[in-house]
Amino acid sequence: YVTAEEVQTAQAESRDAKITHWIRCLQIAVKLLFPSERALCDQIFEGKHAWKDHCFAAATSKSLLNLLSFGQAISKSKTSPDKVFLLLDMFDRTLELQSEVEAVFAGDECAENRKSASTLVKCLAQAAKKTLIDFKDSIVKESPKNTSTDGDVHPLTSYVGNYIKYLME
């Protein structure tokens, strides 16, 4: 499992690359690996419903929770304005995969897996919201007390404008 402290100490470029890699791994696991494992358990334990669900849950739970732990660690790490783009990307991808997670992890044996995936989506949304609120608060705190006399756009105004522009893309 990955902790928030490990994520925090990673360099920004390394963290960004790891997040991109994590998104790809999560997509592969949810779209290919877990459904294949489900099909295999269904085939092997055909007619024994309780066994196939139990076997599938036992075979996949640790892998899914390990994958989700990285997302949880990112959502709990220190906020910064540039991190919101990554958080929103992670949120978007996990939300897109949520229905597939619900389908492949159907049944009582997998209820905890579904709950963990759903919790991650909520944590990422909360982290993005907190990051944006922190950004707003820092703007208010750093807002210039005087205006430019030469007609230039204040650097903070330019930064905030560009930030909002990138958020809208």
The secondary structure of 71-123, three-state, reads: HHHHHHCCCCCCHHHHHHHHHHHHHHHHHHHHHHCCCHHHHHHHHHHHHHHHH
CA nearest neighbour of 107 among 5, 20, 8, 38: 38
Looking at residue 147, what DSSP letter applies? -
Q: What percent of the chain has pLDDT over 70?
A: 85
For residue 138, what pLDDT band results from cuts at 50, 70 and 90?
Answer: confident
> Average pLDDT, stretch 37-56?
89
Please provide the average confidence, as pLDDT, over all residues in the chain.
86
pTM for this predicted structure? 0.81
d(CA 149, CA 155): 14
